[in-house]
Amino acid sequence: MSEHFVWGIKDSFLQYVNALPDGSITASNGAILTPKNVFHFPLTTSTSDKFESSGEISIHGHHGMLDVTFHHLTVTLEQDKAVISVQVKGRSMKIARGHVIHHTPEEIVISTQVTTMGSELLGGVYQAGTDMDPLTIHLNSEG
């Protein structure tokens, strides 16, 4: 399979949306939602310290009041630190920070914690620093 991110954002958030009478979670522009409720985002750019995907995610509920839409998930690494950013309505937002917890030629696993901006995107419910789901970057090991 080609290089891609695997990220569920935050499992409890997706479960909450799935439980809403009008909740909807969609993935487009190459991104997919798997039956395990995690997103796969194909990588469009991959260097040793920057990984990007053009996939788009759209999460709706509460009669349109809940509208979390983003695209262009980007992970930037600096040694063992990671910054996760996305494009929201033409604006780049750093939504999470993290640490590399596992690094092999095939995959990089990153712990993620929500930033203040990421919390705003998700309705201000989570305190900055709250754990989100780990994010995995699957790489082509043959280089």
Q: What is the CB-side half-sphere exposure of residue 121 using CA atoms within 13 A?
A: 27
Q: How far apart are CA 119 and CA 132, in angstroms?
A: 11
116 binds ligand HEM (CB under 6 A): no
Number of residues this chain uses to bind ligand HEM (CB under 6 A):
11
Q: How far apart are CA 32 and CA 6, in angstroms?
A: 10
- Residue 126: phi and psi, rounded to 5, are -95, 140
Segment interacting with ligand HEM (CB under 6 A) among 10-18, 73-81, 98-106, 132-140: 10-18
Q: How far apart are CA 103 and CA 86, in angstroms?
A: 23
128 binds ligand HEM (CB under 6 A): no
12 binds ligand HEM (CB under 6 A): yes
Q: Whole-number minimum distance, CB 126 to ligand HEM, in Å?
A: 6
Q: Whole-number minimum distance, CB 41 to ligand HEM, in Å?
A: 20
Q: Which helix (H) or strand (E) holds 16?
A: helix 11-19
Q: Which of residues 43-72 bind ligand HEM (CB under 6 A)?
A: 62, 65-66, 68
Query: Using CB under 6 A as the criterion, which residues of the chain lie in contact with ligand HEM when the complex forms?
Result: 10, 12-13, 16, 62, 65-66, 68, 122-123, 125
